[in-house]
Amino acid sequence: GRALAVANELEKYGVKATVVNARSVKPLDKNYLNFIKDKLIITVEENVLAGGFGSAVMEYYSQNDVMVKVIPFGIKDQFIAQASVESQLSQNGITAENIANTIKKNIKD
């Protein structure tokens, strides 16, 4: 899906991304989060950001005093006008191109 499209886009620029399909928000896979704590972490969800998966990941790191950069992508906490799902996602910046561009801007050389 969308995450693989992002990984493929990044590969064109020599950036290797690992795509992880998080099956649930609770419980978080704390062992894996500890394993990737030195990486740039991007969360993508077709859900409201407030109280969502990305928020839970950031909260976990914060509660454990781990400094890590997490960039969440999701639906803004506001009224969403009626439109196709793809249009709504696009309006919220949840496109492969936008996510890939954000990652490229935030990676360290």
Distance separating alpha carbons of residues 20 and 57, to the nearest angstrom? 13
What CA–CA distances, in Å, run from 45 to 10, 14, 67, 73, 74? Answer: 19, 25, 22, 6, 5
Which tops the pLDDT comparison, 19 or 1?
19
Residues in the chain: 109
The whole-number pLDDT of residue 93 equals 79
| Low-confidence winner among 21-35, 49-63, 95-109 (lowest mean pLDDT) | 95-109
When pLDDT is cut at 50, 70 and 90, the band that residue 108 belongs to is low
Considering Cα of 67, then 68, then 71, then 72, what sign does the dihedral take? negative
The whole-number pLDDT of residue 64 equals 96
What are 53-105's pLDDT values in tens digits?
999 999 999 999 999 999 998 887 767 778 787 777 777 778 888 888 888 88
The whole-number pLDDT of residue 66 equals 95
**What mean pLDDT is predicted for residues 15-43?**
88
Distance separating alpha carbons of residues 75 and 90, to the nearest angstrom? 10
Which tops the pLDDT comparison, 4 or 38?
38
Q: Is the pLDDT of residue 41 over 60?
A: yes
The whole-number pLDDT of residue 69 equals 92
Distance separating alpha carbons of residues 38 and 12, to the nearest angstrom? 23
Question: Pick from 73, 77, 74: which is nearest to 106 by CA?
Answer: 73
